[in-house]
Structure 1
Amino acid sequence: MMKQKLPLKKPITFNEKLQWLKLYDKNSIYSILVDKVAVRDYISKNFDENLLFPLLGVWKNPNEINYDELPNQFVLKCNHDSGSVIVCRDKEKLDKEYVKRYFDERLKREYFYYWRERPYKYVEPKILAEKYMADEHGELTDYKFMCFDGYVDNVMVCVDRHTGNTKFYFFNKDWQLKKYNKSSLSLPDDFKIEKPALMDEMFEIASRLSKGFPFVRIDLYCVNNKIYFGEYTFYPQGGYDANILPEADIALGNLIKI
């Protein structure tokens, strides 16, 4: 994938160490944390249930979904993979046959075999529905925190998803731009976007959620001045992120202690 030899005996870069962690870090709790249903109990018991998006239902197949019990707007997603999401903004216009075909296919996906991410191998596929959430602009901005056993190096802010041209900006806790990806090379060193009011609190939450793990990306959201948990991601891009700059790949790799 990266067209380079993988030095498993002495990995150095971020991507190399993610491959090492896939093979040798076999903490069984990871399967709970990547399960979008099971992780809710973990967050509720160990941190704060108020971090969770309101849950509307969980089903083993799309035939079980009772749309009459759902509000006009909601989000459907799979618990066992990445990216299997349908956002419903108007239930009257929802193509339920498409939803059925979509999740029939997605529930059959064995996500482990895509990138050999061990935790997904032990997750029972399900569908869950969560409350539809958006900010005052009708968007839901992702804040993805790169965490190393409680130390949060940076947050990747994902903006303009609705345009189909998503932009990714990395900032440290002092809200200074980190030139970690290729697109950042064209930005001035003092580039800024508006810092969200609760960003410092999000850094603290990400730190608490990540303690005990050599690396994990903690995804959070902030909607109407309230912070919500998104998910745990242990191997971003499967450990094959070709957009990360070589110097960033080394710098982030140095933060993973194996």
Structure 2
Amino acid sequence: MPLKRLNRFRLWLWETPPVYEIRGRCFQIKERLCGYPELHRAFRERTGYELSLHHPCTFHHKITVLKIRRSPRIFVRAVDKIFAKELALEWAHQHGFRLYVARTLAVTKDVSEIRWHELPQRFLIKATHRSGANLFVDQSQAFDLDALRVQSRAWLQYPYGVYKHEWAYWPVPRRLLIEELIEPVDGEELVDYKFHMSRGRCLMIQVNQGLRSGKRTIAILHPSWQLQPVKWVYPQPEVIPQRPDTFYEMLEMASAFSREFPYLRVDLYSVKQVMSGVMVSRVMFGEFTFFPGSGSESVDPFAFDLAIGKEIKL
């Protein structure tokens, strides 16, 4: 019995946040000293081909090289979900663009401080220091508040990207951001336009649909809005996505924002809303991403991965 208790204690201690961070630092040092063996293994497993750090040629090779470099301070600030909105508005103002962001409703480090009754019926809650940690909440429908609290606390306990080699996320303050839900007034599902940029040049446009419906599709388009015969993680949509009214404005913004970076993905929305009784399309900011898919997503055909990679000048 004492041995079982000791084993349970050892397993608990192994996963505690302080020990997790120490383990992560040791993992980081070991990977650098040994030539990134775990990174090579994970890359091969996810993409189906070998990683080359010394002679990168594909899109995912080069994203991975950027991922393991010492990140400049601007990277760290731009992946912070709160600061990214401020940065996007600052850059838009400098270049004379009209850009809008989702309204921040609350920021906290403690889930118990959230005043749920003061929030609107529908909102979005996300962790500021990591990717993919967000939940849509509709208080008009039954939802498990206790489970939401547990999930939110779990997000805040650990740094993000430790074993994915995305060390730019480590210094980002861990907080919860609650913001308004971006909803087009016409009732259509929100479409996510992701502009893959390199030093002001558009490499490709990724159009994500079906996130909330669960029927997810990804369309990869040339900057001239021609659909490319490419499967990028999710299947292609049956119909080519319609080019938004604000497309050229969005492309200009993405170009201006990315001029100083070898690679930057700028995520934007084109949202129809009523302003002074008139329906208008507004460009709204999503996020900045330097390491999409952690630099190792499945792309078919391989030739496209290679062609896009040649366009990125590290």
What is the TM-score with the length of structure 2 in the denominator?
0.75
The corresponding residue for 1:149 is 199
Instruction: Please state how far the C-alpha of 1:154 moved relative to its aligned partner.
Output: 1.9
Instruction: Please state how far the C-alpha of 1:143 moved relative to its aligned partner.
Output: 0.8
From the superposition, tell whether residues 182 and 119 of structure 1 become closer, same or farther in structure 2 (CA, over 3 Å): closer
The corresponding residue for 2:262 is 214
From the superposition, tell whether residues 21 and 183 of structure 1 become closer, same or farther in structure 2 (CA, over 3 Å): closer
The corresponding residue for 1:77 is 126
Q: Once the two structures are aligned, what percentage of the paired residues are identical?
A: 28
From the superposition, tell whether residues 68 and 50 of structure 1 become closer, same or farther in structure 2 (CA, over 3 Å): farther
CA distance in 1, matches of 2:286, 2:64: 23
Instruction: Please state how far the C-alpha of 1:195 moved relative to its aligned partner.
Output: 1.5
The corresponding residue for 1:257 is 313
1:172 corresponds to 2:228: no
The corresponding residue for 1:195 is 243
1:117 corresponds to 2:173: no
Instruction: Please state how far the C-alpha of 1:241 moved relative to its aligned partner.
Output: 1.0
The corresponding residue for 2:55 is 10
Choose which of 61, 69, 73 in structure 2 pairs with 1:28.
Answer: 73
Pair member with larger Rg: 2
From the superposition, tell whether residues 41 and 100 of structure 1 become closer, same or farther in structure 2 (CA, over 3 Å): same
From the superposition, tell whether residues 33 and 183 of structure 1 become closer, same or farther in structure 2 (CA, over 3 Å): closer
From the superposition, tell whether residues 132 and 183 of structure 1 become closer, same or farther in structure 2 (CA, over 3 Å): closer
CA distance in 2, matches of 1:233, 1:96: 30
2:194·2:206 contact (CA, 8 Å) conserved in 1? yes
Q: Name the amino acid aligned to 2:284.
A: Y
How many corresponding residue pairs?
Answer: 256
Q: Which stretch shows the higher mean deviation, 121-130 or 179-188?
A: 179-188
CA distance in 1, matches of 2:70, 2:303: 25
CA distance in 2, matches of 1:105, 1:185: 31
Q: Which stretch shows the higher mean deviation, 120-129 or 165-174?
A: 165-174
Q: Output one character per residue of 1:183-225: Cα deviation in whole Å (capped at 9) or x when no partner.
A: 899899xx73322111121111111121211011111111111
Choose which of 113, 117, 140 in structure 1 pairs with 2:190.
Answer: 140
The corresponding residue for 1:63 is 112
Q: Name the amino acid aligned to 1:137.
A: G
From the superposition, tell whether residues 93 and 185 of structure 1 become closer, same or farther in structure 2 (CA, over 3 Å): closer
Q: Output one character per residue of 1:25-78: Cα deviation in whole Å (capped at 9) or x when no partner.
A: 522210100000122222232324842111111001211111232122211111
Q: Which stretch shows the higher mean deviation, 152-161 or 125-134?
A: 152-161
Instruction: Provide the alpha-carbon RMSD of the alignment.
Output: 2.3
1:173·1:200 contact (CA, 8 Å) conserved in 2? no
From the superposition, tell whether residues 123 and 244 of structure 1 become closer, same or farther in structure 2 (CA, over 3 Å): farther
Instruction: Please state how far the C-alpha of 1:96 moved relative to its aligned partner.
Output: 2.3
From the superposition, tell whether residues 55 and 184 of structure 1 become closer, same or farther in structure 2 (CA, over 3 Å): closer
Q: What does 1:92-103 align with in structure 2 at a 5 Å threshold?
A: 93-103=142-152
The corresponding residue for 2:89 is 44
